[in-house]
Structures are given as structure tokens and as C-alpha cells.
Amino acid sequence: TDPWGGSARLAVMLAWPSNDYTNVDTGSTAAGFRPGSPAQNVSMDPLGGNCPGDDCIDNGNNTYTITSPVAVPSGLTGGSLAAALEGHPAEDFNGDTLRVPVTGAVAYYAISEAGGAGEARELGVSIEKCASCHGGLLSLHGNNRTNSIALCVTCHNANATDIRARAEGGIQGEQSIDFKAMIHGIHAANVVIYGFGGGEHDYTEVTYPGELNNCAACHVGGSYYPTDPETDPRIATTFISDNFGNDDFPEEVTPTTPRTPERALTLANQEDDLNRTANAAACLQCHNSEWAASHALIPGGAKLSVKQTDDGMLLPVPGDPNPSAVEVCTLCHGEGSNVEDVGVVHAPWFPLQ
């Protein structure tokens, strides 16, 4: 694809809270073609003809001030947000294809009247490790915003799925695009994800050239270890965002249900989504057998189908075999465990089970 074929783009984005993005109440649910795109960040376009203008001011010193059309909601689970800048040029100078590397940027700010520096999003992988395999060949999203994991996760957050990009009326096979679930799923060759413009991305025949159990190929430090939900700020990962019947949209959603503005409201409501708890969401993308899922449930304490409030509280759904359970993966798989320490069983030299 000719990378200049689109128009030039510059986006100023806000995502919140930065301890683990939910992007609740960002206004990313507007009805339109394929309405309902929950959990996406606030995206502002300074090139859209309204800058300078009332909401985009030229400060006269090579800086600009842009005002978000959406207010930061109260009651967030974290006290910081991310502000990001990304884009790409587009111009046909001589008819030839030329790739122009563009660097995206992310900064963190406190959500308070006083402002100031905020809490950076904790990252478990590094872009340098991505490049050690992909080099400069991985070109996604028009080749912009691919230089920074911190930028990726503002959209690829735990509440986001590919529901908006899927074919009109279709919901079967909805996939999480949460970064931890999506990347594990792609490398394990077990997901089909729909992307920008409704394009199908079939990763089921991806052949990972390395050892799939070598977590250190992507992860930094010991970030591949399961985490304790008592201290881990990560929220559960959405795998079904459609509402299966409530006051807003009482009909049961089927594969032929049209994407009406009313249905967009149900997609906007994150509290009726079905989710998987954080450790299970990552691990079960590779360990995807029925036995593994059963093990994650009992004794693992994971939730494979649970609702979650906007403040992160888990609400078990009917039929939950153990509604009071919490993930206890660290007991057996944590660092130093004499049972199955992930750092040992996922070492490159350890045989796959």
C-alpha cells in the first residue's frame, strides 16, 4: 500500500487513568458508521480546519493550546492521565513511495487543579525487543504511532475489542485488542482480528520463529510473572462488549443485529461487558486448552466471564462456580515458587509441556 495515499494526520490524544486505561466517558461511542467504539481515547485533530480557533489557540511562540471537547470524569481509579501526540505527513512529491519515520510522544499529567507530573503507565515489554525481531518491517496504522508501547496501550487497553471494525451486523468471534491478550494471541497463532476499515487480520497461520515459551524475548525484567490482584492496578480484559439484553437494548444480540444508535449505547456501557481477569487474559491466549481454562478457574481463582464496574470492582455473573474467588496464580507460578515458577518453566531451555 502506498503510505502517502491517505491525508496528512496529526492527533492530540488523551487517555485515562494511566495506571490502567479504561477511557470511560471519553465520548468514543458516537453513533455513525458501525456505531459504538468503547474504550478509545479522546482524539483531537488540529489539522481539521479549526486551528487556530476557539478550541485551538496559537500561542505565538511555536506552541499551541488545544482544549478537549470531553471533560475528564470524576471517580477514576487512578489520579493521572496520558497526553499523546501522533501523526504522519502525506504528500506526493514525485510519484515515488517514501517512508518517513514519525515519532509519537506520550507524557503523563496529574488529574487535579494543580496539575503537574503524573504516574507513567507501567510497561512490561520494550519496543527495542519488538524491533529485535521485526526491525523496521512492522508497519501498522500508516506507520505512525508504532515507535512507542506507551502509545499503543492508550488504545489497546483492557476494555477494548475489535467489535467496531467487524462486519456490519456481525459479533461472532469478537476479539480483545487489549495489548497483553492481543500480542500473546498473535504470536501463538490463534486469533483473527478485524482492524481499521474492517480489514481482516488472520494470524492463525503465523509461525513464530523463536521459542514461544521464552517470555524474555519480549518482556523486560520479571514482568512476565503473574501478579497479585491485591496490588495490581490492571483491570479485567473485555472479550464480549455487546449487551445481551437490558433496558437500553432489551433484545438479545445476534449475528444479524444491525449497528443502530441504540445498540451503540450498549457498546458504550462497559459495566455490562463480559471480562477475564488480568492474569488469565494473558496466559490463556497461549495456554488455550480446556484444561488450562479449567485450571485457571480452579484452583487458579480466575474469572473467565465476569462483569466489572467502572471503578474496577468485579461482579460475578450467574453460574459462576466460585463467585468469591480471586486470582492466586502467584502461589504456584510466582517468582521463587517450588511448584512451577514461570521464570523456570518458560525459560528457553525448558521443554514445552
- What's the pLDDT tens digit per position in 110-136? 998 888 999 999 999 999 999 888 876
Q: Where are the domains of the chain?
A: 1-154, 237-345
Q: Given this model, what pLDDT does residue 33 score?
A: 45
Q: What is the band of 46 on the pLDDT scale with cuts at 50, 70, 90?
A: confident
Q: Given this model, what pLDDT does residue 1 score?
A: 39
Least confident of 52-66, 162-176, 334-348: 162-176
What 3-state class would DSSP assign to 290? helix
For CA atoms 353, 236, 157, 149, the dihedral sign is negative
Q: What is the dihedral of CA 274, 278, 282, 288, to 10 degrees?
A: -50
Residue 39 scores a pLDDT above 80? yes
Mean pLDDT of 38-65: 84
Q: Given this model, what pLDDT does residue 2 score?
A: 46
Task: Tell me the pLDDT tens digit for each residue of 100-112.
Answer: 767 889 999 999 8
Mean pLDDT of 30-45: 70
The C-alpha cell that represents 15 in the structure block? 487517555
Q: How far apart are CA 3 and CA 147, in angstroms?
A: 16
Q: Given this model, what pLDDT does residue 243 score?
A: 57
Q: Given this model, what pLDDT does residue 29 score?
A: 60
What is the percent of the chain with per-residue pLDDT over 70, rounded to a whole number?
A: 81
Mean pLDDT of 162-181: 76
Q: What is the band of 98 on the pLDDT scale with cuts at 50, 70, 90?
A: low
Q: Given this model, what pLDDT does residue 261 score?
A: 67
Mean of pLDDT over the chain:
82
CA angle 324, 330, 334 (to 5 degrees): 175
Residue 172 scores a pLDDT above 90? no
Q: How far apart are CA 283 and CA 288, in angstroms?
A: 8
Mean pLDDT of 179-183: 95
Q: Buried b / exposed e across 332-341, counting CB within 10 Å, b at 16+?
A: bbbeebeeeb
